[in-house]
A and B are shown apart, each in its own frame.
Chain A
Amino acid sequence: MSAVPAVAATADHAAVATQGIAISGVTHEYRPPRGRPVLALDDISLDVPEREFIALLGPSGCGKSTLLYLVGGFMPLQQGSIVVGGRPIRAPGPDRGIVFQNFALFPWKTVRQNVLYGLEKRGIPRDERLHRAQHFIDLVHLTGFEDSYPSQLSGGMKQRVAIARTLATEPDTLLMDEPFGALDAQTRTIMQDELLSIWRRSPTTVVFVTHDVREAVLLASRVAVMTARPGRLKEIVDTDFGEADSAEVQRSREYADKVDYIWSLVREEAIKAGAGGHL
Chain B
Amino acid sequence: MTAGLLLSRAMPLVILALAWEAAARSGMVSEYALPSLSSIAASFVKLAGSDLYYHTARSIWRGLLAFVVAVPLGIASGILIAWFLPVRILLKPVLQCLYPMPKSALIPLTIIWLGIGDASKISLIFLGTLVPIVMSAFNGARGVDQTLLWTARSLGATEREVLWEVVVPAALPEIMNGIRTALALCFILMVSAELIIANDGIGYLINLLGEAGDYAGMFAGVITISAIGFAADRACVALTRWLLAWRE
**Interface positions of A (Cβ within 8 A of B):** 69, 72-74, 91-94, 96-98, 100, 102, 104, 106-110, 117-118, 121-122, 149-152, 165, 169
Q: Are A74 and B150 in contact (CB under 8 A)?
A: yes
| Complex-state Cα separation, A151 to B148, whole angstroms | 15
**Chain B's interface: helix, strand, loop or mixed, by majority?**
helix
Q: Which residues of A contact B148 (CB under 8 A)?
A: 104, 106
Q: Which residues of B contact A169 (CB under 8 A)?
A: 155-156
| Complex-state Cα separation, A92 to B246, whole angstroms | 28
Q: Are A98 and B248 in contact (CB under 8 A)?
A: no
Given contacts A149-B246, A151-B247, contact A98 B156 (CB under 8 A): no
Q: Which residues of B contact A94 (CB under 8 A)?
A: 154-156
Q: How many A-B residue pairs have CB under 8 A?
A: 67
Find B147's partner among A73, A96, A97, A100 (CB 8 Å cutoff): A100
- 4 new A-B contacts, CB < 8 A, other than A98-B151, A108-B172, A108-B246, are A73-B154, A94-B156, A100-B147, A104-B145
| Complex-state Cα separation, A134 to B9, whole angstroms | 46
Q: Please tell me the number of chain B residues within 8 Å of chain A, measured between CB atoms.
A: 21
Q: Which residues of A contact B172 (CB under 8 A)?
A: 108
Q: Are A165 and B248 in contact (CB under 8 A)?
A: no
| Complex-state Cα separation, A121 to B155, whole angstroms | 7
Q: Which 5 A-B pairs have the closest CB atoms?
A: A121-B156, A118-B155, A104-B147, A92-B153, A92-B154
Q: Are B156 and A102 in contact (CB under 8 A)?
A: no
A94 to B, closest residue via Cβ:
B156
Complex A-B: 23 CB contacts under 8 Å: A74-B153, A91-B153, A97-B154, A100-B147, A100-B151, A102-B145, A104-B145, A104-B147, A106-B148, A106-B166, A108-B169, A110-B246, A118-B156, A121-B155, A121-B157, A122-B156, A149-B245, A149-B246, A149-B248, A150-B246, A151-B246, A165-B155, A169-B156
Chain B 129-162: CB-based contact to A (< 8 A → 1; otherwise 0): 0000000000000000101101111111100010
| Complex-state Cα separation, A108 to B151, whole angstroms | 15
B247 to A, closest residue via Cβ:
A151
Q: Are A98 and B246 in contact (CB under 8 A)?
A: no
Q: Are A72 and B150 in contact (CB under 8 A)?
A: yes
B66 to chain A, nearest CB (A): 29
| Complex-state Cα separation, A91 to B154, whole angstroms | 8
| Complex-state Cα separation, A108 to B170, whole angstroms | 8
Which residues from 208 to 248 on chain B have a C-beta closer than 8 Å to any C-beta of chain A? 244-248
